[in-house]
Amino acid sequence: MKKIILSLVTVLLIATSVFADEIKFTASAPNVVELGEQFRLTYSVNSKGKNIQVPELDGFRVLMGPSTSSSMSTQIINGKVTSSSAYSYTYVLLAEKEGKFDIKPASISVDGETKISNSLTIEVVEVNKTQQSSESEQSQNSASTDKITENNLFVKVHLDRSSVYMGEHIVATIKVYTRLSIAGFGDSKFPSFDGFLSQEVPTPGQISLERENINGTIYNTGIIRKLILFPQHTGEITIDPFELEVIIRQRKANKRNGFFDEFFDNYQDIRVPRKSKPIRIRVKDFPSNKPASFDGAVGNFELITTIDKDSVKANDAVTMRVKVAGNGNLKLIKPLEFNFPADFEVYDPKTSQNLNSTEAGMSGSTTFEYLIIPRHGGEYEIPSVNFSFFDPKAKIFRTRSTEKFTIKVAKGEGDNSGTIISSFSKEKVKFLGKDIRFIKTNDFTPQLKGEVFFGTTNFYLAYIVPFFLFILAFVFNRKRIKENADTAKLKNKRANRVAMKRLKAASASLKAQQKDRFYDEILKAIWGYTSDKLNLPLANLNKENISEILLSKGVELELKDEFLSILDTCEFARYSPSAGSSEMDELYQKSMNTITKLEKNIK
């Protein structure tokens, strides 16, 4: 009986669930097709509709359609019922004319309301006769590795522009182009992007292939990685080639060509290495009329300055925030320098960033938070300062100014300004700040008891021993100050300790199965250790000069190769399908052992 009641309740919940999802009506089709090729034009809607109206399809012949299909799913999670449905209308078209054709939106009636789909643009290209004949030969003969050429499989690093100003963003897209069947990817080597600050643009973890017309030939293309690059110096910068091992699936050569071969998987996977061409970028310097307040900001920004209060007591904290928002190299913007009153105690600003990297560049905001503590009463003014940036589109410098603030400070408990000391006597002090009180003294006559201490050995030792201890402490302190002043030596000394702390953070990410964070911590540990140990800024580090420096420091060739392999593994693993925990644990142990060996080998 209980099962029947539960079933009835479930059916009732499903029947009474409210479909709150917005009705969506979309059209989809290939971006590029060949002349004479058949393809599908599909209209999808997430609710049942009727009276679909398709526009005129100029340049195409309708061979079949519409064929309809539908699907529906229901989920009950923690008592919450969610349902979804999908209806599709598919037309099979034949491309009859060459050129680009715009397909206008279609319409459909859903619950008495008319919904309009998106429009499409389809490019029809003429088939390359040479390529068509070679493809027909491949279909008649068994495939072999000789038929895999640079024309039907290659990789490329595409830049959205080849000439920019210093600090202006460039979108770099690493893509694979193929007319063959790809089964997967093997080893890869990404460019180091020396001379650039790079920022990853989020892309789907699974690489999906889309059709693209390249000089009249249709390729299936997939995005491997997409980045935003900010050049850090002027002149010509070269981006190194991208290397990728592509796994191609081909039918095995079979001389018998038996009847039953078609019913079995008679394929083989071939590993094909591919390498892109190096790319050169010209980075221009800024115009000569730089404002004095310009500090390298490039883009288009707005400046917002706020203060949490303008009336406080002495020794109370005031927070001032400066927010730089817009699109550009927000990650490189430095805190503004204000001319605060001398009676203000100001701490180093705290920086927080809310950034979003897309193909349009880096957008969002960088906020600087200044903590200010007035120490004395009075009325003070924080003057306005200028913030200048270069607008690469208009090719001019623009200046924004912060607001001017006036702060009224009342005397607080810790403010001693204007204090008058009166009625001063040995018996009492009426007022002398908070930390000074009168010390009462009485007549005191010491009385000797037992053995006289004055003039004994212990008496003199009581003076000599502290004196020598003071000398030792002074020498040790001077040595410590001298060592701390030598920043390079201090970093070198602490390099191994800092690297091990970062590896502990990587171990925590490994236990939590946080793949991206794990590989980031491994890279930080490796690069940070190298920077500190070799006394090189992170911006000047790359695989080539590290290789040379390690060899010059007496590091064995095998250990150097092991170090570089860790960098390659981390770089590729961040953008490849998820690795297992065993591979991540092996990489962690390998990183610890490599850093330990380097600590012993570097001279």
Q: Quick check: 355 pLDDT over 80?
A: yes
Q: Which of 171-175, 377-381, 539-543 has the lowest mean pLDDT?
A: 539-543
What the block records as the tokens of 230 is 């900010």
Q: Quick check: 321 pLDDT over 80?
A: yes
Q: How confident is the model at residue 448 (pLDDT cuts 50, 70, 90)?
A: low
The CATH number of 129-284, from 1.10.405, 1.10.3470, 1.10.1200, 2.60.40, is: 2.60.40
Percent of the chain having pLDDT more than 70? 77
DSSP helix/strand/coil, 269: strand
Q: Residue 181 corresponds to which amino acid?
A: S
| Phi, psi (rounded to 5 degrees) for 529 | -60, -45
Q: Residue 489 corresponds to which amino acid?
A: K
Supply the pLDDT for residue 463. Answer: 81
Q: Quick check: 429 pLDDT over 60?
A: no
Higher pLDDT, 85 or 137: 85
Average the pLDDT over 130-147 and give the result.
48
Beta strands (DSSP E) in 347-434 are 350-358, 361-374, 378-382, 386-391, 396-401, 405-410
Higher pLDDT, 224 or 569: 224
Average the pLDDT over 324-340 and give the result.
91
The CATH architecture to which 487-601 belongs is Up-down Bundle (1.20)
Supply the pLDDT for residue 249. Answer: 86
Report yes or no: 45 and 115 within 8 Å, Cβ to Cβ.
yes
Helices 557-573/581-601 angle, 10° precision: 150
Q: Quick check: 435 pLDDT over 70?
A: no
The CATH number of 301-410, from 3.30.70.100, 2.60.40.740, 2.60.40.10, 1.10.3720.10, is: 2.60.40.740
Percent of the chain having pLDDT more than 90? 20
Supply the pLDDT for residue 320. Answer: 93
Answer positive or negative: Cα dihedral of 322, 325, 328, 330.
Answer: positive
Supply the pLDDT for residue 451. Answer: 62
Supply the pLDDT for residue 472. Answer: 87
Dist. CA 560–CA 547, nearest whole Å:
7
Supply the pLDDT for residue 486. Answer: 53
DSSP helix/strand/coil, 379: strand
The chain-wide mean pLDDT, for the chain, equals 78
Average the pLDDT over 361-384 and give the result.
91
Domain ranges of the chain: 2-125, 129-284, 301-410, 487-601
Q: How confident is the model at residue 8 (pLDDT cuts 50, 70, 90)?
A: very low
| Closest-CA residue to 197 (of 237, 244, 161, 154) | 237
Q: How confident is the model at residue 138 (pLDDT cuts 50, 70, 90)?
A: very low
CA angle 506, 509, 515 (to 5 degrees): 100
Helix (H) or strand (E) holding 7: helix 2-16
The predicted-structure confidence for 76-87, as pLDDT tens digits, reads as follows: 776 666 677 788
Q: How confident is the model at residue 140 (pLDDT cuts 50, 70, 90)?
A: very low
Q: Which of 30-44, 160-174, 250-264, 365-379 has the lowest mean pLDDT?
A: 250-264
Q: Cα dihedral angle (18, 24, 25, 30), rounded to 10 degrees?
A: -130
What the block records as the tokens of 460 is 């003199």
Higher pLDDT, 49 or 600: 49
Q: Which DSSP state fits 253?
A: P
Q: How confident is the model at residue 141 (pLDDT cuts 50, 70, 90)?
A: very low
Name the CATH topology of 2-125: Immunoglobulin-like (2.60.40)
Report yes or no: 581 and 510 within 8 Å, Cβ to Cβ.
yes
- 129-284 shares its CATH topology with 487-601: no
Q: How confident is the model at residue 325 (pLDDT cuts 50, 70, 90)?
A: very high
The predicted-structure confidence for 550-601, as pLDDT tens digits, reads as follows: 777 777 777 777 877 877 777 776 665 555 566 777 777 877 887 787 777 7
Average the pLDDT over 298-326 and give the result.
92
Supply the pLDDT for residue 426. Answer: 38
Average the pLDDT over 396-409 and give the result.
92
The predicted-structure confidence for 535-555, as pLDDT tens digits, reads as follows: 777 666 777 777 777 777 777
Q: How confident is the model at residue 283 (pLDDT cuts 50, 70, 90)?
A: very high
Other C-beta atoms lying within 10 Å of the C-beta of residue 113:
10
- Among 19-23, 53-57, 522-526, top mean pLDDT goes to 53-57
